[in-house]
Amino acid sequence: MKRSRGSTLAPVSFEALLRVRRMLREQAVSPGTLHQAPHKPKPQPDGAVLFRRAVAGTVPLAPSGRADIARPRPQPIARQRQADERQVLIDALSDPWDQDAAVATGEELVYSRPGVPTAALRKLRRGGWVIQGELDLHGHTGDEARVALAAFLNRCMLEERRCVRIIHGKGHGSKNRLPVLKNKVRHWLIQREDVLAFCQARTVDGGAGAVIVLLKSSSR
């Protein structure tokens, strides 16, 4: 039986086909590989997610029922200062001064509250007490002098000053050359319960133009 000439293949051609087929198999790519999507990095959770994970096991505190409101710190009340100011006001509004005392010139200005030992007044007149404060009333009117004297004595009591000097002047510049302010100071001092005694200052301390006052201790 003869084969047609057009269908005849040489042996070499079959070997060539086998080599081509083998090469195609080696270089072939699987269908899944051809259609696989490119690799994408896994997204990381955001901060809110991480925080919720971190506090997942916590328990909220029970409400206290109090409002968290910042309040201004109250300032301390200066009660002693208020009392001193009231006393100064009372002293300034009340002046039961005897006009007859203004003409009592020539006598020594001296006073001792009942119960004060005579030795204490004697020591005061001799300058045995250390003068711890001074008030000069020169240039003050009667009302101004009264307020200034009351405020000064209140401050001395707070500061535990026992012996002070009040300079009232000799009255040479007043009407009729009378020591009006001197006698007013005398009357004001007598009204003060914290004044134990007073006397005219020694010459070296002001003489007739000043008075030395012994005050009660605030602890008594």
- CATH classification at residue 198: 3.30.1370.110
pTM over 0.85, yes/no: no
More confident position, 24 or 104? 24
Q: Residue 192: inside a domain, yes or no?
A: yes
More confident position, 174 or 135? 135
| Number of structural domains in the chain | 1
Say how far apart CA 38 and CA 181 lie, in whole Å: 111
Work out the percent of the chain whose per-residue pLDDT is above 90: 27
Say how far apart CA 47 and CA 205 lie, in whole Å: 85
Query: Is the pLDDT at 157 greater than 60, yes or no?
Result: yes
Task: Tell me what pLDDT residue 108 has.
Answer: 65
Q: Residue 16: inside a domain, yes or no?
A: no
More confident position, 30 or 157? 157
Catalogue the E-assigned strands of 38-187: 110-112, 133-136, 163-167
Residue 170, both tokens = 């000799």
pLDDT digits 0-9 by tens, 165-202: 999 888 655 555 566 788 889 999 999 999 999 999 99
Q: Residue 20: inside a domain, yes or no?
A: no
pLDDT digits 0-9 by tens, 71-92: 667 666 667 666 666 655 555 4
Q: What is the average per-residue pLDDT within 4-22?
A: 62
Q: Residue 18: inside a domain, yes or no?
A: no
Q: Residue 200: inside a domain, yes or no?
A: yes
Q: Residue 3: inside a domain, yes or no?
A: no
Q: What residues make up the domain containing 172?
A: 79-96+109-215
Return all residues near 194 (Cβ < 8 A) that are at least 6 apart.
153, 157, 215, 216, 218
Task: Tell me what pLDDT residue 86 has.
Answer: 61
Q: Residue 57: inside a domain, yes or no?
A: no
Query: Is the pLDDT at 210 greater than 50, yes or no?
Result: yes
